[in-house]
Every structure is written in structure tokens, then in C-alpha cells.
Structure 1
Amino acid sequence: MSQHLITHLRHVDIAVPDLARQRDFFTGTWGLTEAHRDSDLAYLAAEGSPEQYVVRLREAPEKRIDLIAFGAATVADVDALAGRLATSGVKLIREPGLLQTPGGGYGFRFFDNEGRTIEISTGVAVREHRRIEEGESIPVRLSHVVINSADPEGTRAFYEKHLGFRLSDILMHPRIGEVMYFMRINSWHHSLAIARGPHPSLHHASFEMRGLDEYMRGTGRLLRAGIEKIWGPGRHMPGNNTFSYFLDPHGNTLEYTTELEIIDEDTWHPHSYDFSNPEVSDQWGTANAMDEFVTAKSFNDPDKGLFVPPPV
């Protein structure tokens, strides 16, 4: 696909068995704000983001990713993407039309190659948001989403061919081969990354903090609250962003980050980083070692929602 019609990452929607507990964690500990509520749904916004919400929670018997949502600039772009996907044999879940979610807009849904539900939309009303002040240790925006894939090469090819994603960097290991693809849709180093895993699932969702001080304050605040830390604090080499990974109440991995690299499209060339070099995973050398425990937590549970669209 020659035209880059997707503009940005909008939100990630997660289903969990205990909505109240998950909502309390995201609003009381993680730093999001409940912007809308509808029976068994909670729409959570980041105070610094114009998006109506960056996380949607839904109560369901089993944990799953409900969908990952991306934005487009115009109705014509949404229609063009839907038409190209349908022509290429990609299954549309919902034809382009008016959205019934907060902020309205116009969009459609489809399954990706492994059965995740993806939404593309435009024209969603801008939420009243604010500048995050110095020292505030709450997320500014949703930074990126990383998915586990049993076929990372095929998943990368799907997002490049059908959605116009571009490869920023590759993470590799001498014994395993290529283990992660960092994919971009704008000047941010990555909005989506695809990790090699035993099954499709959520690897982690990452939230951008105001700066280094706020990132460290947030990391410390969660540690003091007794939230289980998986990995960090440290700074990755691909993307040059900081990282602190924690587990939410349902075993999903969430990240505080900041200073994700902004790249120049005209001069950027993808790098292949050797993950066996400790500085690649953590330039500072401050994080705990990446070991089997961290890896197992990142694999998460197999997603129960593949090729099954969420009910709302």
C-alpha cells in the first residue's frame, strides 16, 4: 500500500472478568481518568491526550484484547482503507459507518491475519485535555501497543501491505533469530511492535509520561503501592525510550515510558539490534536482568478473542 492513510494510535480495548478491580487500578493507581461509563464498559482517558479514551475496559468471563484502534485523517481515507482490505480478501467485521462510542466519528472494524479485531476511525470529537504539569506522574498519552505473534513475519507483512506500517528497527538474537519488529505510522519510532511468542496475545501497552522526572516518580509511586514490577527501570536502545513494566490485576503487562524517539522519515534506515548485548535492552544497566520470568510474563495468556469480534 503506497499511501500512508493511518495517522496514529487511538486506544486499546481490553476485556477482563473483574471490571471494578481493573478500573480501580487504572484510575486509582495507574493515573488514567474515567471519562465515560456505560453498564459493563469503562472508558479511560489520559489527561494529556485529546483522545476520548486511551483504554476501554469491558467486563467479560475471560480476559482478551477486544480491539486496537487507529486513526485516519478523513472519511475518504477510511473508505479507501476498507475498500482495499475487502478487495484483498481481509474479513471486515463492520462496514464503514457512524461510531456509537464516545466522541462519535466514522470507522470500521476488521480481523488482522491472526484474528485480532482492529478498528480504523476518523472524525472523533477531541476531548478537552490539559498540559501535564511538572512533577505529575500520570500518563500523557497512550504511547504504543506490543502484540505477541506466533507468526511475527506474517503479521509484520500484513500490517505493512494492508495498513502502510513502516519498519523502524528489528530486535534479534543469535540463537532465536528476529524476535521483535518495531513498526511506525508517523514520526514516533513505533506505535505498534510485533514480538515473537508462543501464541497471539497482548505483550504490553505503554503509556508516555511527561519527562524523565515524572517517569521515575511514577515508577516509584507504583513500587510504593506494591504493584508487581516485571522489568525496569531502564532505557532501551531501539526507540531510545525508558521502560518500567508492571502487572495489572489480570496479569497484563503495562509500561511507563518517556522520550520515545522521533525519527526523520527521509533519512531513517532500520537497524538490527542484537538482544544478547545487555546494552540493547537497557542502555543504563539499571533494570533487573531479562530472564525467563520476565519473558514468561510478557507472553501473557493466549488471547480468547481471536476471530471473535467484541459484542460492542
Structure 2
Amino acid sequence: MSDRLITHLRHVDLAVPDYAKQLEFYTSMWGLEKENTDDGLAYLAAAGSPEQYSVRLRAADEKRLDLVSFGAESPEHVDELAQRLGTQGVQLVSEPDKLQTPGGGYGFRFFDNDGRTIEVSSDVEVRQHRKVEEGESVPVKLSHVVINSPNPEETVAWYEKHLSFALSDTLHSPHVGKVMWFMRTNPQHHSFAIARGPHVSLHHASFEMRGIDEYMRGTGRLLRAGVEKIWGPGRHLAGNNTFSYFLDPHGNTVEYTTELERLDEDSWHPHLYDFSDPEVTDQWGTANPMDEFIAAKSFNDPDRGSFVAPPV
């Protein structure tokens, strides 16, 4: 799309009451690397990613999603997007400026229609990363972020209008209607998705593994350690990616995935998939059946951060 100024997903930032426990989980268990730490702040990188960090943890009294960060190609595109959003009545949290986070760069923040803080930046210094080796069950990169919205149709329309995200596929059922919209900002099937939920919250954050073997090894490591598994292992139809969903110590859902589909954007037409068909939710048939109890786990707690910008 000629007016698409966002190129990719950078990181997801979480506020956590039990900072030490979350830091231990994401490094020792989930496989992220402690790249930078400050007083009550931890910047955690994925081994194979050029991004400075994929997850930021911030010690806080209340659990919340601090922000979701996306990349842009240049400072000019950052300025153009900020100007566009301002003229469209979007509330800016900060004006474009030099970033004070690891890797620097140039960016700004704003609220989406549900009050989530979104950051867009360019010129962030590339991190010294490496090729993840065969058999190494650590995340290569942050794959995608999914959010819950009580007004998902409005939220989908907001991201299409203001950020030029494109719809890849939609999940529905005859009983509850449409429940999830997969959205892209590059040929990857989705970097972002919007789920119908009872309140504003994080649905899940997903991490790309090197391949099927590494994905299964990582899944097995968490199972052996007694981490609560919600759903998986299996393979979705929409996006054709594998999935294993777990809960972090604060009840946020995190996913190991691999082989997410890349689309020919010029010829792609979105599907409307009926998720009551078991082949849609899991092509392999290996995952526990999707039901309302599994779905409720990913509703998460109501986010206290709506229209309240994180302090850092």
C-alpha cells in the first residue's frame, strides 16, 4: 500500500507487579536475553532479532499493557504519520523526538481508539544478533501481538483508517459471529490481531521459533517445568502457523509459534473461517479442543492503562 508508513512490529511492553518473578520467567524459562536493565526496567531481546528488545518489563503496582511498538522506514515517515494522525483527531501522547530507550531512534506515541498506547519509531540502532542454531529452543523474534477489544469492529476500522493495516483473514462462528481479525503491515500474515473480548486487554504475545523441532522442544521444556499450558501444540489454518499457548506468572498469554505464512499482498483475498470447524483451529488435531474455558484464559484482566500513558 502506497500510504502504509508502518513497516513491522518492534516490541511489546508490560507493567508487572512481581517484577523479579516475571524477569525470571521470561529469561530462564521463555528464553529471552536480558539486554539492558535499569531501576525497575528490563529490556529483553530475542536472540535472532535485530530489534534492541522484544519485551520490556516495568515494575509497577498494577499489571497492564504499557504499549505496542512498531517500526517505520525513516524519520520523515514518522513525522508524516504523526501529522496525519493529528489532523485526523487522534490523541498524541508525545510529539516525534529522539527516543531515550536502548538503541535510541526517533519516534512518538499515541492512543488508539480503545486507549492503548502505540509507539512508532525509526532509526533505532540495530542490535548485534545471531542465527539461532539447530535444536536451540529460544525465540528468534517477536512474531505478533493480539489485543482484546470490546468494540472490535470499530478497532479494526481504526487501524485500517489511521495506520493502513490490511485485513488478512477473519474468524467467526454461526453462534457468536466474528471473533478475531488478523491484520498485517507487511507480507507476514499478521503482525497484529484484534479479538472480541469483554474488556480492553492483551490477548497474547507470540514468539517465532527457528523451526518445528525447536518449537516442540520449547513447548516440552515449559510443560516439564509445570508452566500452565492453555492450548496446543497444534497448527492454525489462518496463517498456517503452529501454536502453543502458555500463561506467564501474571496471567498474560504468551505463544511459541513458527512458519507463519507470508502472503502475496497483490493477489491475497481475506478468508472468513468458521472456527467451530476443528480443522480451522487446529489442522493437525493434536491440540486440546477450543472451548469457552480456553477462550476465557486469554481475556486476561481488564487493562488499567486505557488512555493513561506509561510513565516511561
Pairing 1:225-244 to 2, within 5 Å after superposition: 225-244=225-244
Q: Secondary structure at the match of 2:267?
A: coil
Pairing 1:160-309 to 2, within 5 Å after superposition: 160-309=160-309
Q: Secondary structure at the match of 1:303?
A: coil
Structure 2: segments with no counterpart, 5+ residues: none
Structure 2 partner of 1:155: 155
CA shift, 1:266, in A, is 1.1
Measure the CA separation in 2 of the matches of 1:283 and 1:31: 27
Q: Secondary structure at the match of 1:153?
A: helix
Q: Secondary structure at the match of 1:216?
A: helix
Q: Secondary structure at the match of 1:79?
A: helix
Structure 1 partner of 2:3: 3
Question: Is contact 1:36-1:44 (8 Å) kept?
Answer: yes
Measure the CA separation in 2 of the matches of 1:16 and 1:37: 15
Quick check: 1:101 aligned with 2:101? Answer: yes
CA shift, 1:175, in A, is 1.1
Q: Which residue identity is paired with 1:28?
A: S
Pairing 1:50-199 to 2, within 5 Å after superposition: 50-199=50-199
Q: Secondary structure at the match of 2:133?
A: coil
Measure the CA separation in 1 of the matches of 2:252 and 2:140: 20
Measure the CA separation in 2 of the matches of 1:2 and 1:87: 19
Measure the CA separation in 1 of the matches of 2:188 and 2:273: 18
Q: Secondary structure at the match of 1:43?
A: strand
Structure 1: segments with no counterpart, 5+ residues: none
Measure the CA separation in 2 of the matches of 1:85 and 1:125: 25
Give the superposed CA RMSD: 0.7
Question: Is contact 1:2-1:164 (8 Å) kept?
Answer: no
Q: Secondary structure at the match of 1:204?
A: strand
Measure the CA separation in 1 of the matches of 2:256 and 2:276: 23
Q: Secondary structure at the match of 1:144?
A: strand
Measure the CA separation in 2 of the matches of 1:168 and 1:84: 24
Structure 1 partner of 2:42: 42
CA shift, 1:2, in A, is 5.2
Q: Secondary structure at the match of 2:218?
A: helix
How many residue pairs get aligned? The number is 312
Measure the CA separation in 1 of the matches of 2:5 and 2:164: 7
CA shift, 1:236, in A, is 0.2
Q: Secondary structure at the match of 2:298?
A: helix
CA shift, 1:176, in A, is 1.1
Measure the CA separation in 1 of the matches of 2:276 and 2:295: 14
Q: Secondary structure at the match of 1:299?
A: coil
Measure the CA separation in 1 of the matches of 2:224 and 2:74: 44
CA shift, 1:291, in A, is 1.4
Q: Secondary structure at the match of 1:207?
A: strand
Measure the CA separation in 2 of the matches of 1:230 and 1:138: 20
Runs of 4+ more than 3 Å apart: none
Question: Is contact 1:171-1:179 (8 Å) kept?
Answer: yes
Measure the CA separation in 1 of the matches of 2:76 and 2:85: 14
CA shift, 1:251, in A, is 0.3
Measure the CA separation in 2 of the matches of 1:35 and 1:164: 32
Measure the CA separation in 2 of the matches of 1:305 and 1:40: 18
Q: Which residue identity is paired with 2:285?
A: G
Measure the CA separation in 1 of the matches of 2:66 and 2:286: 34
Measure the CA separation in 2 of the matches of 1:176 and 1:81: 36
Cα deviation per residue 1:153-192 (whole Å; 9 max; x = unaligned)?
A: 0000110000010000010111111110000000100000
CA shift, 1:45, in A, is 0.1
CA shift, 1:292, in A, is 1.9
Cα deviation per residue 1:17-41 (whole Å; 9 max; x = unaligned)?
A: 0111000000000000000001010
* TM-score normalised by L of structure 2: 0.99
* TM-score normalised by L of structure 1: 0.99
